[in-house]
């Protein structure tokens, strides 16, 4: 069947923006053990839309039409298989009678219930029983409407590999009998941290791609921000300081998107960026949520990272950045996280405050760490310090190592430019 391009485009849009909502509410009905069934119903509804709209035209409210079809398909399955499957325990008693099933469905498909079910799905996808790489893949598939091929492209792997991750995640859900619910009490705080960490991993994969030729994958970052908003908007959370802090951090970092590459796609350092291209609306959102995050008496890694990012954003120029305040913030961050990456970033700030020689001394402390030996930014940072000291032979050696280790072509290009500069200084 040749589908009209505008209908195909509309179906793709609905899949991206509505499928996560539908999968969430259907998982509430069918139970997490039947997650595959929920996804199948959504897929069948989209196929039916493609078929009918081709000949009957697009309805006035395509989203409402899609939800109604999905609801009817779910009802048919329940009527046909009510004694064959075990469904979600908290709604099962409503589904046994023809007198209660229709009102129950109308309630479950209400706007507020759909919002709550998306939150339940976030906690399901980020359950500690599921491996972290599978958590992200499952969240992208079920909540964000990404296809398997899109997820594979995002992580520069094969469709087969992503499919294996999804199969493993669904099996983990069944084996661990993971409930479709929002945790309560002390468990909520612990699980929320896992959720936030997973969302931040998703954002970072979009903001600083680990593979491929794209420096920034906007959609991954946008989805990370959207998922965080579901948490901040929900009535279940009274202590939202760390959630607001993460939202602030993502908005502030995302505000610099357009300035991170030139017209040819080359990566630009913050010093080289045209600050007029920074997104003032996103920056304002970031500063707003940072202020909200401080309303409660708690401090998290995300608070400090967001405050560091805010310092970069509010500076009128690179040279007017308040490096002393940023160094103080990094010193506080080390109380939460003294990983080699944090120490490396801190060394860059030390160079601005206390001089390059002190920064090099700090880097000596982490040079033998296994996780840093294969990290290209360690060598490129050393090279920048050595360039400042006019130690060009050492800088050339470190830049060559950094180029070999850099995962992205755009980063290799930036490093190659610095290498050419050093070679020109050697005469």
Q: Tell me, yes or no, whether 223 lies in a domain.
A: no
Q: Which domain holds residue 12?
A: 1-109
- Give the bridge partners for 159, in sequence order: none
Beta bridge partner(s), residue 261:
267
Q: Give me the DSSP letters along 310-326.
A: HHHHH-SSSTT--HHHH
| Burial class (CB within 10 angstroms; exposed 0-12, middle 13-18, buried 19+) of 5 | exposed
Assess if residue 116 is contained within a domain.
Answer: no
Q: Which residues pair with 267 in a beta bridge?
A: 261
How many other CB atoms are found less than 10 A from the CB of residue 9?
Answer: 11
Count of structural domains, the chain: 1
Res. 145 pLDDT band, cuts 50 70 90: confident
Does any domain span residue 152?
Answer: no
Q: State mean pLDDT over 175-192.
A: 86
> Is 324 within the bounds of a domain?
no
Average pLDDT over the chain, rounded to whole?
A: 87
Most confidently predicted of 83-97, 114-128, 146-160: 114-128
**pLDDT score recorded for residue 401:** 96
Distance between CA atoms of residues 49 and 94, nearest Å: 28
Asked, for residue 5, whether it belongs to a domain, the answer is: yes
| 383 touches 402 (CB < 8 A) | yes
Q: Which of 38, 37, 61, 39 is nearest to 49 (CA)?
A: 61
Asked, for residue 30, whether it belongs to a domain, the answer is: yes
pLDDT band at 91 (very low <50, low <70, confident <90, very high): low
Residue 160 lies in a domain: no
Query: How do residues 216-265 score in pLDDT, each as one tens digit?
Result: 677 788 888 998 998 988 776 667 889 999 999 999 999 998 888 787 77
Q: Is the pLDDT of residue 60 over 60?
A: yes
Q: CA distances (Å), 167 to each of 134, 172, 182, in order?
A: 9, 9, 23
Q: Which pTM was predicted? A: 0.81
CA distance between the termini of the chain: 66
Phi, psi values for residue 215, rounded to 5°? -70, -45
Domain contains 54: yes
Summary count for the chain: helices (H), strands (E): 21, 0
């Amino acid at each position: 069947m040749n589908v009209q391009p505008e209908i195909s485009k509309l179906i793709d849009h609905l899949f991206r923006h509505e499928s996560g909502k539908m999968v969430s509410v259907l998982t509430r009905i069918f139970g997490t053990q039947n997650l595959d069934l929920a996804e199948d119903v959504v897929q069948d509804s989209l196929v039916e839309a493609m078929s009918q709209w081709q000949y009957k035209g697009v309805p006035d409210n395509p989203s409402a039409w899609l939800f109604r079809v999905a609801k009817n398909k779910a009802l048919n399955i329940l009527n046909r298989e009510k004694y064959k499957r075990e469904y979600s325990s908290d709604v099962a008693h409503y589904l046994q009678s023809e007198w209660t099933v229709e009102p129950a469905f109308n309630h479950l498909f209400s706007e507020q219930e759909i919002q709550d079910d998306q939150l339940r799905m976030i906690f399901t996808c980020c359950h500690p029983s599921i491996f972290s790489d599978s958590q992200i893949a499952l969240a992208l598939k079920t909540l964000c409407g990404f296809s398997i091929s899109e997820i594979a492209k995002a992580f520069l792997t094969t469709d087969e590999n992503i499919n294996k991750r999804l199969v493993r995640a669904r099996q983990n859900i069944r084996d661990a009998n993971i409930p479709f619910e929002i945790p309560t009490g002390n468990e909520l705080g612990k699980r929320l941290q896992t959720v936030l960490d997973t969302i931040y991993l998703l954002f970072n994969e979009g903001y600083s791609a680990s593979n491929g030729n794209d420096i920034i994958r906007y959609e991954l970052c946008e989805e990370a921000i959207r998922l965080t908003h579901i948490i901040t908007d929900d009535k279940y959370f009274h202590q939202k300081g760390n959630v607001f802090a993460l939202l602030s951090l993502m908005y502030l970092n995302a505000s610099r998107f357009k300035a991170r590459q030139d017209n040819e796609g080359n990566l630009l350092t913050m010093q080289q960026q045209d600050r007029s291209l920074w997104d003032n609306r996103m920056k304002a959102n970031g500063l707003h949520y940072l202020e909200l995050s401080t309303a409660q008496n708690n401090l998290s890694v995300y608070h400090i990272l967001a405050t560091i990012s805010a310092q970069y954003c509010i500076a009128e120029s690179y040279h007017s950045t308040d490096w002393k305040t940023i160094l103080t913030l990094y010193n506080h961050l080390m109380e939460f996280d003294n990983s080699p990456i944090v120490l490396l970033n801190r060394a860059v700030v030390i160079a601005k405050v206390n001089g390059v020689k002190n920064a090099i001394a700090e880097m000596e402390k982490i040079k033998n760490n296994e996780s840093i030996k294969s990290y290209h930014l360690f060598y490129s940072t050393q090279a920048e310090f050595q360039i400042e000291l006019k130690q060009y032979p050492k800088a050339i050696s470190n830049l060559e190592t950094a180029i070999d280790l850099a995962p992205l072509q755009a980063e290799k290009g930036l490093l190659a430019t610095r290498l050419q500069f050093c070679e020109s200084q050697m005469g």
